[in-house]
Amino acid sequence: MDVIAVKNLSKAFGGLMVLQDISFTVAQGEVVAIIGPSGSGKSTLLRLICHLETADSGDITVAGQPMLCGGVYAPPEVLRRACLKVGLVFQNFNLFPHFSVIRNITEAQMRVLGRTRDEAESRARSLLSKMGLPDKETAYPCRLSGGQQQRVSIARALALDPEVLFFDEPTSALDPELTGEILRVIRNLAREKMTMVIVTHEMAFAREVADRVFFMDGGVFVEEGPAAEVIDNPRTDRTRAFLRRLNG
């Protein structure tokens, strides 16, 4: 079953075409990595599927819920149901600085899902334990390391029980020493068959964890295939040049 189905998706900002006729699917339990240079449209693609930006044309279906059909968005209630199927982990954490850790994780559960405080806090504590942060529920973001803040943001996304989780460069704002914390969490989610789409520059990680890799440049998919195949033996000159530059 395809959890994500995108067809002929396009987006321009002013006169600049950022995405051009993008089509792809993500199966349930699959991990897809999207790689490519800065400005290639990777983050915009995630934001369109999460409805943080609006598309100009194309189709988007999430877990069987149509969000966009022929460039026309679904009615608000249908769109809301589709948006609840996805979670997004930002590169800069985006935690509420004036909320404690546990409130960062419970607030949306109560407001969006209608859970009681006890239900929301029980779910939050379970996820904090899973993230290796059982003792941080009363802490505030400013008292946490970058790696800890990112693990809280992952817990917050998971608390809404999405069917697919998007990561937008989840380690780019971290010191190299803290990157491993986040990659371990994502590895564990992959073992649990969480459907994920990960925008990343961590090639060794993408090769290890992803089922498929898409190389994106200039708003289009230049190449896609099994992770090891694309990263170790790219077919196109453009992909080879990108990987050579990334690897020094």
pLDDT one-digit tens code per residue, 168-200: 998 887 787 788 888 999 999 999 999 999 999
* Prediction pTM value: 0.94
Contact 205, 181 (CB under 8 A): no
pLDDT band at 248 (very low <50, low <70, confident <90, very high): low
pLDDT band at 247 (very low <50, low <70, confident <90, very high): confident
Residue 237 C-alpha from the chain's centroid: 27
3 state SS of 239: helix
Strand residue runs (E) in 56-98? 57-62, 65-69, 72-73, 86-89
Whole-angstrom Cα Rg for the chain:
18
- Phi-psi group of 182: left, alpha or beta (phi > 0 → left; psi -120 to 50 → alpha; rest → beta): alpha
Residues 6+ apart with CB under 8 A from 137: 100, 101, 102, 124, 125, 128
The pLDDT tens digits for 225-243 are: 999 999 999 999 999 999 9
